[in-house]
Structure 1
Amino acid sequence: MIRKVFEIMIKDYTTVDAFWGIRRVQKIVEKDHYDCFPVIENGEIVGILTRNDLITAHPNRIVLDAMSGRCKYIDENESVWSAKELFEDESSQILIVTHGDEVTGVIMKSAVDIESGKHVDMLTGLYKSSYIIHKSQKLLDQGGEISIIFFDVNNFGYINKKYGHTVGDNILKEISKILKECVPADTFLCRYGGDEFALLTGKCAEDCEVLAQSVLNRVRQHNFICDINVGISAGIAGGKKRCNSRDGDMYKNITNLINLASLASTKAKKEKENLVLGFSGTIDEMAI
C-alpha cells in the first residue's frame, strides 16, 4: 500500500519571516539549497516563497512582497495519492501538513513524486493496484457508484513459453497502449499484476459492457509482434444504482469488487465473446 503523508513529511522545516529582506533568504539558499519556504507572519504561515520568487525579486524587497505561492494544506493522515492530486491542481512545490488545527510539518512535491513513482509499473508505465483502490475510495466518498472492468490476456503463459518473455513483455506494452487509447478520460487504469489490467469507472455495471467490448475488439484487430493472435477476456463487477450512504469496511468492499471482476474475467475465457458481467448490485452488498 502507498504511504501516508506523515510518513514522508519533513518535521524540521525552515521558515522565513514575512518582513525579512530577500538578500537574507538568498544567503540561506546558498548555504542549505532549499527550494521553497513557508512564510511566517505573527507566528502563522501566510504563504510560500519559492526559488523562482527569489530569482525574480529585487534583493532589496522583503519576503512578503516577493512571495507568490499560496498556502495549501493537507492532513497528515491523507495518502500520498491525495498529496499528488493537490500538487497536480496547483503549481506549488510544497504543502503544509496539519493534524487538526496544528501544523505538524511540510511535504515537498519531489518527495511525493518519488513515493508515487514506486507505484508505477516499469514495463507499461501504468499505475499499480493501490492507485485504483484510492480512486475507488474517493468516488465512493463522493456518494457515487463504481464498477471494475478486469482484463486478462488469454493463453499468456503459453505465449511466454513459445515465444519468450521478451515477446510477452512487448505484448503487454502494446495492450497497455491500446487500453490508454480506448478508455475515457474519467476512468482510471492500472496494471493489476502479471497479464492483468483493471479499469475503474464511475458508471453502473451494465453501462460498462460497451466499453469493455470495444477494448476486446481493438485487441483482436491489433497486429501484434510475430503475428501472434492475441485476445483478452473481460469481467465486469459493480453496482446498478447510486446510493448516498455507505456502510461497512469500504477497503474490503473495494477489494472484494475487484476480486469478483477478476473471477468474472476468468469465467469469460470460456465464453465466445470473452466478456462476462459477473456481478451487478450495490457496492454495499460486497461486504455481505
Structure 2
Amino acid sequence: MIVSDIMTTDLHTITSEKSVAHAAERMNENHVSSLIVVEHDDVIGIMTSRDVRSSHPNRIVADAMTSETINMSVDQSIWDADRLIRNSGIEEILILDEERLVGRVTREAVLMRIAEYTDPLTGLFRAPYIQSIGERLLKEGTPFHLLFIDLNNFGQINKLYGHPFGNDVIREYSNVLSDLMDDRYDFLSRYAGDEFVVISTADDNHVFSYLEIMEKPIDIRHVQISAAVGHVNGYLDSDFFSLSLRELMERASLLSTSAKNRSVSRPY
C-alpha cells in the first residue's frame, strides 16, 4: 500500500501576498484545512488552519505560513507516511512525482487507512505491513534479519485456561516484543494467530539480544509462556537476495518449527 493510493489530487493553492483572512475564506469555500503556497509555480510553504487561527487576519500569508513542508514520493508506503506523521505531528504531507507536486495526503486519511491494517487485540500492524517492509528492503538490496516467532503450545493453553486467557497471552507477549523494538531499524507485526514477525536492520549483537529475550519464558498469571523463533540472517545467507519474501518467510517459519520440536519444556 503506497501513498498514491490514498492521496487526493484536489490541490488548493494561494500566493504568499494574500491576507490570512483571504486564506481563511478560501479554506471555508473549498472545505479544506490547508492551502499550498506557491510562487511562480514553486511550492514555498503551506497555510494550515492552525496557522490561520494563530495569526491576525490582516497579516499576509508569507508571514503566517509554515515554510517547511513535508514531502513524500508517490511510491512510498503508507507505513512511512504514518511514521512521518506520528514523529513530526504534521497534519498534511505533499506528494511529489519526481519534482512535480501531484497530490496531498492528510493525517486523517493516513490514520484511517492504517486502522484497517491494525490488529485490534494487540494494536500491532498485521501481515500486510511486514510484507510491505520486507519487499521494499529486498527491492532496495538492503539486508535484514527476519524473525518468525511462534508461541509454544498455544492451542493447549487455550484448552486448559480458555480463550480469554489466550488473548491475555497474545497481548502480554506483544507488549514484550513492542518494548524491545527500536523505531530506527525494527518492524514488528502480528502475523497470524499466535505468530509474530520481526524485520530488523540492526546489527547482529542487537538481534541476538532480542532472540535471547524472545525465547525466555515469561509468567502470565503464574503460567509460563515461551516461544520458538526462526531466524534468517540476511547479512550472512549467501542466497538471501535470490529468494522472494514469501520464500524467506517460509524458511524462517520452518526454522521456528524446528526450534519448537527441539523444545523439551512445557510452557504451562
TM superposition score category, shorter chain reference: 0.7 to 0.9
Which runs of no fewer than 5 residues in structure 1 stay unpaired?
A: 275-288
Number of the residue aligned with 2:27: 29
Please give the secondary structure, in 1, of the residue aligned with 2:261: coil
Please give the secondary structure, in 2, of the residue aligned with 1:223: strand
Equivalent pairs, count:
263
Report deviation, 1:6: 1.9
Code of the residue aligned with 1:190 in structure 2: it is S
Number of the residue aligned with 2:62: 64
Contact 2:169 2:220 in 1 (8 A): yes
Output the TM-score relative to the length of structure 2: 0.85
Number of the residue aligned with 2:191: 192
Report deviation, 1:132: 2.3
Structure 2 CA distance, aligned partners of 1:184 and 1:64? 39
Number of the residue aligned with 1:202: 201
Alpha-carbon RMSD: 2.7
Number of the residue aligned with 2:252: 261
Contact 2:214 2:229 in 1 (8 A): no
Q: Using the aligned pairs only, state the percent identity.
A: 27
Report deviation, 1:183: 4.3
Contact 2:119 2:126 in 1 (8 A): yes
Contact 2:152 2:225 in 1 (8 A): yes
Contact 2:17 2:61 in 1 (8 A): yes
Structure 2 CA distance, aligned partners of 1:182 and 1:86? 21
Code of the residue aligned with 1:265 in structure 2: it is S
Counterpart among 13, 16, 22 of residue 14 in structure 2: 16
Contact 1:143 1:242 in 2 (8 A): no
Contact 1:50 1:69 in 2 (8 A): no
After superposition, give the CA deviation of every residue in 1:51-77 in whole Å (9 maximum; x if it has no partner): 121111111111112102423332223
Number of the residue aligned with 1:284: none
Code of the residue aligned with 1:237 in structure 2: it is V
Number of the residue aligned with 2:212: 213
Query: Could you say if the C-alpha distance between residues 207 and 103 of structure 1 is closer, same or farther in structure 2, counting changes exceeding 3 Å?
Result: closer
Contact 1:145 1:203 in 2 (8 A): no
Code of the residue aligned with 1:34 in structure 2: it is V
Contact 1:76 1:97 in 2 (8 A): yes
Structure 1 CA distance, aligned partners of 2:32 and 2:136? 33
Structure 1 CA distance, aligned partners of 2:188 and 2:138? 17
